[in-house]
Amino acid sequence: MQIVILKNAAEVAAYGADIFTQQLARNPGSVLGLATGSTPVALYQELIRRNQAGTVSFSKAKTFNLDEYLGLNGEHPQSYRYFMNEQLFNHIDINKENTHVPPGDAKNPIEACKEYEARISAADGIDVQLLGIGRNGHIGFNEPSSGLTSRTRVKTLTKATIDDNARFFAADEYQPHLSITMGIGTILDARKVVLLATGENKADAVHAMIEGPLTAACPASALQMHRHAVIVLDEGAASKLKDIEFYKHIEAENQKLQEYLASL
């Protein structure tokens, strides 16, 4: 894992935006894996700003979102499809037909999960997958005990996740307890993975992901198996890491290596 520790959430968002900007510059037809939650919002705002300034284009890109609430259609304000339209797609030059979010209103959700996997494969897989992390270490909606090689499927949410996400729902509003989520195996198949975490309330999960054992008890620890996972943290999210000075040292050396390679 490449562990990047930055001062604050704004720097994390800019770093993440750089990764997507560079990816699209290299290959305008890239397949991007996207995420919801509050963490990626600042990154999306930065991508919108860059798109409107003409420094990045999504006109040939395809996107696949990690997850969706089962039981909500895309017009529901709490659905992740609605979130993506509002937070990103409505403001950039992407062709909406090239954007994919698991269908929360599928008549046959089991079949819809298989179709979602097939669509990702037909697009030749995901180039860069963006991730956040839940306080219990979940990625997408892969809750603790998720199979480490799992594929897109219907998943029950933990009480912790339901409580964490209750802030988005009105008190009398129906809040789904089920989701469709890419599996951990699906996520690990992405050619590059970028996980963003900000704030001290993520520090325990971040510590478990990076320094704990590889275990289904912390689904994000599966990224230890990925050949190109970049973990981008602010000081708060990094605050419980034991080897923080070592990670900063590696990054400084990495910068020097990049400069050396560029000079050859």
Among 8, 22, 38, 59, binds ligand GLP (CB under 6 A): 38
Q: Is residue 161 a contact residue for ligand GLP (CB under 6 A)?
A: yes
Q: Which is nearer to ligand GLP, 27 or 197 (CB)?
A: 197
State which residue, 21 or 140, has the beta carbon closest to ligand GLP.
140
**Smallest gap from residue 132 Cβ to ligand GLP (A):** 3
Is 69 a binder of ligand GLP (CB under 6 A)?
no
Determine whether 93 is an active site residue. no
Shortest distance (Å) from residue 139 CB to ligand GLP: 7
Our finding on whether 183 is near ligand GLP (CB under 6 A) is no
Catalytic residue, candidates 143, 189, 207, 234: 143
* Cβ atoms of residues 152 and 186 within 8 Å: yes
In this structure, how many other beta carbons lie within 10 angstroms of the beta carbon of residue 99? 20
Name which of 120 and 133 has its Cβ closer to ligand GLP: 133
Q: Active site includes 249?
A: no
Which of 68, 98, 117, 138 is an active site residue? 138
Distance of CA 159 to the CA centre of its chain: 21
Classify residue 173 as exposed, middle or buried by CB count within 10 Å of its CB (0-12, 13-18, 19+): exposed
The answer to whether 84 and 101 have CB atoms below 8 angstroms apart is yes
Nearer to ligand GLP, 102 or 140 (CB): 140
Name which of residues 124 to 143 contact ligand GLP (CB under 6 A): 132-134, 140-141
Task: Tell me how far, at minimum, the Cβ of 163 lies from ligand GLP, in Å.
Answer: 11
Nearest to 181 by CA among 147, 152, 156: 152
Q: Least Å distance between CB 118 and ligand GLP? A: 22
Q: Residue 150 half-sphere exposure, CB side, CA atoms within 13 Å?
A: 24
What minimum distance in Å lies between the beta carbon of 195 and ligand GLP? 9
Site for ligand GLP in 7-36 (CB under 6 A): 35-36
Interface ranges with ligand GLP (CB under 6 A): 35-39, 66-67, 132-134, 140-141, 161, 165
Residues annotated as catalytic are 67, 136, 138, 143
